[in-house]
């Protein structure tokens, strides 16, 4: 079930689509109409050899890029590990064949098999960028150019990475990435479009591996969110005007696991950041909201729905309502929508 929070997306036609990676396939559910009611699916997208892991990146054109890790056997039975991607142009329509992105270690099958699961982002030109953690604990990056060809893998450096890299595109067209280590968060930024990544100051934090997420909260600025490795509460951080490595801010939510789904949207006319995470004690989704970039005001977490598998997801539907989605312990997709009333109350959860 989902390791990330990117598996619920809205297409150009306003319909939501949910994806789930399983062994050798990706399952897909699609709204029948923008804002509901009704869904179709699950449709099965064959993905032979793929790990049950999926990263999803969506560009300004609303095309959906599915990125995974394929493990097969080559000549003589030698193991082969490759990053692969597939493209969906429109909601509910066919997905193009999986394309090979490759591996930073094509001549070393053992090292190739030890790369981390890929993360990806689509830049302002529509080009896909893929990032993986390498066996040495650094970051490798490969970009697709306008012609569709791929640049060589670039070594961005880094050391002792303990989980997936978090990647994002800011509204100014620049990319930013974070990678967790046992003692701090490593951060890379771009000085300008098309310019190589440079290391920024480390962030003094110890996040739970694979719990990083982020949301744009101001022009040219991201707020990063994770579960603390020590007390498992939610912490947030963003760069200040001088890029100083300020201390992360707490947002409560004890005993969480996995990444926190994030969505910035108005609530009762106020600019808010909505958060959903999986509560470890109960296994249920927990939701909270707070005024954007006003962490000192705190956030109150409320349990909702039944126990779920993996990370919940958030999106705005075609009517502008907040939608929370999760996979039940029986594997069914379950959805709850914001009520048509003040506040962030949710309708009853429904199984798709």
pLDDT 10s per residue in the chain (352 long)? 677 899 999 999 999 999 999 999 999 999 999 998 899 999 999 999 999 999 999 999 999 999 999 999 877 778 899 999 999 999 999 999 999 999 999 999 999 999 999 999 999 999 999 999 999 999 999 999 878 899 999 999 999 998 899 999 998 899 999 999 998 999 999 988 878 999 999 999 989 989 999 999 999 899 999 999 989 999 999 987 665 557 899 999 888 889 999 999 999 999 999 999 999 999 999 999 999 999 999 999 999 999 999 999 999 999 999 999 999 999 999 999 999 888 899 999 999 9
Classify burial at 278, counting beta carbons within 10 Å of its beta carbon; exposed 0-12, middle 13-18, buried 19 or more.
buried
Q: What is the pLDDT of residue 233?
A: 93
Q: What is the pLDDT of residue 74?
A: 74
Q: What is the pLDDT of residue 69?
A: 97
Q: What is the pLDDT of residue 58?
A: 96
Q: What is the pLDDT of residue 247?
A: 83
Q: What is the pLDDT of residue 175?
A: 94
Look at the domain 8-351 and name its fold: Neuraminidase (2.120.10)
Q: What is the pLDDT of residue 77?
A: 75
Q: What is the pLDDT of residue 244?
A: 54
3-state secondary structure the chain: CCCCCCCEEECCCCCEEEEEEECCEEEEEEECCCCCCCEEEEEEEECCCECCCCEEEECCCCCEEEEEEEEEECHHHCEEEEEEEEEECCCCCCECCCEEEECCCCCCHHHHCCCCCCEEEECCCCCEEEEEECCCCCEEEEEECCCCCECCCEEEECCCCCCCCEEEECCCCCEEEEEECCCCEEEEECCCCCCCCEECCCECCCECCCCCEEEEEECCEEEEEEEECCCCCEEEECCCCCCCCCCCEECCCCCEEEEEEEEEEEECCEEEEEEEEEECCCCCEEEEEEECCCHHHCCCCEECCCCEEEEEEEEECCCCCEEEEEEECCCCEEEEEECCCCCCCECCCEEC
């Amino acid at each position: 079930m989902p390791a990330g929070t990117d598996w619920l997306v809205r297409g150009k036609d306003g319909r939501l689509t949910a994806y789930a990676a399983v062994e050798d396939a990706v399952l897909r559910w699609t709204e029948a109409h923008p804002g509901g009611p009704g869904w179709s699916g699950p449709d099965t997208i064959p993905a032979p050899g793929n790990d049950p892991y999926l990263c999803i990146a969506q560009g300004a054109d609303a095309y959906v890029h599915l990125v995974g890790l394929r493990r097969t056997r080559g000549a003589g039975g030698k193991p082969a590990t490759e990053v692969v991607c597939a493209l969906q142009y429109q909601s509910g329509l066919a997905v193009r064949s999986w394309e090979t992105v490759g591996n930073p270690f094509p001549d070393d099958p053992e090292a190739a098999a030890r790369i981390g699961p890929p993360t990806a982002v689509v830049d302002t030109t529509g080009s896909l960028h893929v990032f993986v953690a390498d066996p040495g604990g650094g970051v490798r990056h490969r970009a697709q150019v306008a012609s569709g060809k791929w640049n060589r893998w670039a070594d961005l450096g880094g050391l002792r990475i303990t989980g997936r890299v978090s990647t994002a595109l800011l509204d100014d067209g620049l990319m930013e990435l974070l990678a967790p280590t046992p003692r701090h968060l490593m951060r890379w930024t771009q000085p300008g479009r098309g310019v190589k990544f440079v290391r920024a100051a480390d962030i003094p934090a110890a996040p739970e591996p694979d719990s990083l997420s982020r949301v744009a909260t101001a022009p040219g600025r991201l707020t990063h969110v994770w579960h603390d490795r020590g007390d498992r509460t939610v912490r947030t951080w963003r760069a200040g005007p001088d890029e100083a490595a300020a201390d992360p801010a707490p947002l409560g939510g004890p005993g969480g696991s996995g990444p926190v789904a994030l969505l910035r949207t108005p609530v009762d006319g106020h600019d808010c950041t909505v958060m959903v995470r999986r509560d470890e004690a109960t296994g249920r989704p927990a939701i909270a909201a707070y005024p954007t970039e006003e962490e000192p005001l705190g956030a109150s977490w409320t349990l909702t729905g039944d126990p779920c598998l993996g990370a919940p997801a958030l999106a705005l539907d075609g009517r502008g309502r907040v939608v929370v989605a999760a996979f039940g312990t029986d594997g069914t997709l379950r959805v709850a929508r914001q009520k048509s009333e003040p506040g962030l109350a949710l309708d009853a959860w429904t199984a798709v």
